[in-house]
Amino acid sequence: MSLDAATFDSVDDVVARFAQHGYLADDRLATTVFLQSRLDKPILLEGPAGVGKTQLAKSLAEVTGRPLLRLQCYEGQDESTALYEWDYGKQLLYTQLLREKIGQIVGDATTIHESVERIAHEDSVFFSERFLAPRPLLEAVRSDVPVVLLIDEVDRADEALEAVLLELLAEYQVSVPELGTYAAEHLPYVVLTSNNTRDLSAALKRRCLHLSLDYPDAERELEIIRSKDTGLPEALARTLVDVVRGLRDLDLRKAPSISETIDWARTLAVLGAKELTAEILAQTANVVVKYDRDLRRTLEVLPKLVDPNAVVPTSRDRGHQHGPGSGHSHGHEDHPHRHDDHDPEPVRDPAGQERRAAKDEPGRHTAPNYGIAPPTRSLDVGRGQGERSFHTRGARRRPV
């Protein structure tokens, strides 16, 4: 174990210490984390929802004992929620409290021009650190202690925000025109995640250690389930993992993720399931499948997933399914239970575009984890009150 909690001795050290905090990293991921700590490069994790991208950053903070700063990205996001903004409310309050004093300053001015000139002479007071409201990127750079900076779901944000990120990722510094440039005294560990709803710029990828995460193999997923103490007996957990993997092979709008496997295991344990029959799985499938069409498809194939020899009932006699619940596990390498042979819904979208668009749940990110609520509040606060470095970047897309 290293003396400094924030550095890792080896890839194995990464694996072991993450495991102690409940995160099971495979060698590829552990190598990336190890390299990050040695090369001071941000990590960019891409992959479907629920494969452990966000959790990696949280666990990295736990393992290294560093505070976690999080920037949750969303469509139409403005750099004022990422970098900093001027605390307009506080500025206003101060000007009101200082009304008399301001009155004295402009008191004997004879023209508007002269009054403005006098106030302008004092405006640096209002664009000082006292009125600066740092957001996660500036906070990470100004922090007295090294931090983990999570820039989550960066694919949700517009490319304009990516440009803002580039400056930070390249130099680990942020400039505030009125105050100067803040350079990080302690380099943060930066983790960016993307759910692949759009391609990120080559420039962003170039600055990062890039890694694609996918659903884990059956053994690792089983290990993860085991590590969460779900209370589900081992043999059942094994079958459950196989069932979930079978569901992922279907053309579902939202494939079940690791967290859903965990939820399903907990649910079945709470119900005291002794064996995994198609019936009990069907009763609880709504824990993992959240769309009607997906649920219908799931209910159709469940009997075959728990027992490849089962006769799949037609929609007419569904309701009294006879799943024997053999509880056995079957290897998924050759996917013996691909049911595409009698798929009731023809695939109309071979390129998967519709499917991806459907997966891109609207409004999912209207409530950012950090800062102010974007769609309801003007993000122009403070603009025009001081020269911002971004004025030249052009018009930004407004939230709709």
Q: Which residues bind ligand ADP (CB under 6 A)?
A: 22-24, 49-55, 193, 224, 258-259, 262
| Least distance CB 33 / Mg ion (angstroms) | 17
Contacts with Mg ion by CB under 5 A: the residue count is 1
Q: In terms of CB distance, is 44 or 301 closer to ligand ADP? A: 44
Which of Mg ion, ligand ADP, none does 71 bind, CB closer than 5 to 8 A by kind? none
- Which conformational region is residue 81 in: left (phi greater than 0), alpha (psi within -120 to 50 degrees), or beta? alpha
Q: In terms of CB distance, is 52 or 134 closer to Mg ion? A: 52
State the residue for tokens 């494939």. 255
64 binds Mg ion (CB under 5 A): no
Residue whose C-beta lies closest to Mg ion: 54
Task: Please give the Cα distance from 320 to 318 (Å, whole number).
Answer: 6
Q: In what order do the strands lie in the sheet with 209-212?
A: 68-72, 148-152, 189-194, 43-46, 209-212
54 binds Mg ion (CB under 5 A): yes
Which of ligand ADP, Mg ion, none does 24 bind, CB closer than 5 to 8 A by kind? ligand ADP
| Least distance CB 97 / ligand ADP (angstroms) | 45
- 286 by Cβ neighbours in 10 Å (0-12 / 13-18 / 19+) ranks as exposed
| Least distance CB 193 / ligand ADP (angstroms) | 6
Which of ligand ADP, Mg ion, none does 23 bind, CB closer than 5 to 8 A by kind? ligand ADP
257 binds Mg ion (CB under 5 A): no
Residue whose C-beta lies closest to ligand ADP: 52
**CA dihedral of residues 30, 34, 39, 43 (deg, nearest 10):** 30
**Quick one: which segment of 9-17, 47-55, 113-121, 221-229 binds Mg ion (CB under 5 A)?**
47-55
Cite the beta strand spans of the chain per DSSP E.
Answer: 43-46, 68-72, 84-86, 132-134, 148-152, 173-176, 180-183, 189-194, 209-212
Cα Rg of the chain (Å, integer): 27
| Least distance CB 106 / ligand ADP (angstroms) | 54
Describe the crossing of helices 218-227 and 258-270 by its angle, rounded to 10 degrees: 50
| Least distance CB 115 / ligand ADP (angstroms) | 54
**Which helix (H) or strand (E) segment is 111 a member of?**
none
In the complex, the residues that contact Mg ion under the rule CB under 5 A are 54
